[in-house]
Structure 1
Amino acid sequence: MSEKQQLINAGHYLMSNQLAWGTSGNISARINSNQMIITASGTYMADLGQDDFVECQIDTGQIEGRRKASKETPMHLGIYRQREDAKAILHSSPFYTTLFACSNEPILSELFVETMYYLEDIAYVDYYHPGSQELADAITEQAPYANIIIMRNHGVVVFDDSVSEAQMRLETLEMACRMILKAKESGVQLKKIPQETVKSFLEDSFYKPRKNLNKKFSI
């Protein structure tokens, strides 16, 4: 399946599962070492088609074609330039994740199998206007250190080595945020998995190949 079709499927899935809404958010995929495709400006992810993408050179940022690329293109370029392993980027504003992005509540990773793996590395950047160079620079700075970057009062960007893995990372994040909030509402005390067990899981369980990143997050 082509990268474009994978993104089309992902867009439909995100909208159908309340992981994106309206025309907010943008998604991209690396098609070779120096080219990416990204959703065009103003596209609606529920109705993505073959003509709703713009091709872009990663090193220069040069756009190919007549459609206008998403205003968040500089953010995507920054990630691809910093992370050669990144093959897909999803930016959206899911309800529960965005609620946490608008608060100081911590997002716990020591809850269940998927959170231990997918939420191990989360970075945060301050609020900057969408599409601004300041936001792109902040995201680019944090990209080497995390696979999830929470944008304060905005949303989230996740990236991985495939569209399906990026989608799973985003879905796990939203699930965890919803669980944490529901536990607080219900007075349920969440029991975290001990750190030594988390370490054993990440290093010895062979669940998935662990991404060994530097731990230098801006919180």
Structure 2
Amino acid sequence: MNKPHLKEILSSLALSMFRKDFFGIYHGSLSAKTETNRFLINTNEAVFDALHENSLIELYYKKDYRWNQASIDAGIHYSIYSQISEAKFICFSMPQFTTAYSLQHNVITPKDYFGFKEIGSIEIVDPKQFEDWYDRAASEIAYYFQSQKTNIMVIRGYGVYAYNRDIHEMAKKLAVLEKSCRLLMLDSQVSNYDYE
């Protein structure tokens, strides 16, 4: 695996997703599996519109001092990589329309062509209480992916986890999902306006 090239790809995707408001200044995570027991992930100090050499850290599955510098989401990424062999890239983002839509709905059913064809209906998972979410997230997210046989998970009021073998496919699905949620929200506003 060409790690410098992989870092360039992650940096480019992070900038693109930051510009589309999928990531906040320090909010989100992006990783790539480098070997059977290692992965690259952003550090806890990473700024997504300017990922550079020091913004990414390679972690071994066995925890060591480097885990202290890694994203708060590193344990979740580890859990997915260690349990799902097809996961080569993982992303946690908080796209604003998808996250906002998740607050009031239980399912996302796109009405647009690309949403319908690319993602279909997606269940919105309720994390219940947020107080202990990070204690539960690593096991619950990996379990959801395996039990539901999906590679995208929308979590109410929290954001979206996705994984894929291909980083571009993962980014495309996230973009289509966000556009579909935006269209659903606009459609709802227009429908409400029509009745007034």
TM range (shorter): 0.7 to 0.9
State TM-score, norm by structure 1.
0.76
| C-alpha distance in structure 1 between counterparts of 2:84 and 2:67, whole Å | 28
Match of 1:46 among 34, 49, 65: 49
Secondary structure (helix, strand or coil) at the match of 1:77 reads: helix
Change (3 A) 1:66 1:139: closer
Change (3 A) 1:52 1:69: same
Contact 1:148 1:157 in 2 (8 A): yes
TM-aligned CA deviation for residue 12 of structure 1: 0.3
Residue 50 of structure 1 aligns with an amino acid whose one-letter code is E
In structure 2, the partner of 1:23 is 26
In structure 2, the partner of 1:182 is 186
Match of 2:144 among 128, 142, 145: 142
Q: 1:156-184 deviations in whole A, cap 9, x for unaligned? A: 11111122111111111100100111011
Report percent identity of matched pairs.
19
After superposing on structure 2, the runs of 4+ consecutive aligned residues of structure 1 that deviate more than 6 Å are: none
5+ residue gaps, structure 1: 189-219
Q: 1:101-140 residue pairs with structure 2 within 5 A?
A: 101-109=102-110, 111-119=112-120, 124-127=125-128, 128-129=130-131, 132-140=134-142
Q: Which is worse superposed, 171-180 or 81-90?
A: 81-90
| C-alpha distance in structure 1 between counterparts of 2:100 and 2:80, whole Å | 24
In structure 2, the partner of 1:35 is 38
Residue 154 of structure 1 aligns with an amino acid whose one-letter code is Y
5+ residue gaps, structure 2: none
State TM-score, norm by structure 2.
0.84
TM-aligned CA deviation for residue 11 of structure 1: 0.6
In structure 2, the partner of 1:94 is 95
Q: How many residues align?
A: 186
TM-aligned CA deviation for residue 51 of structure 1: 1.3
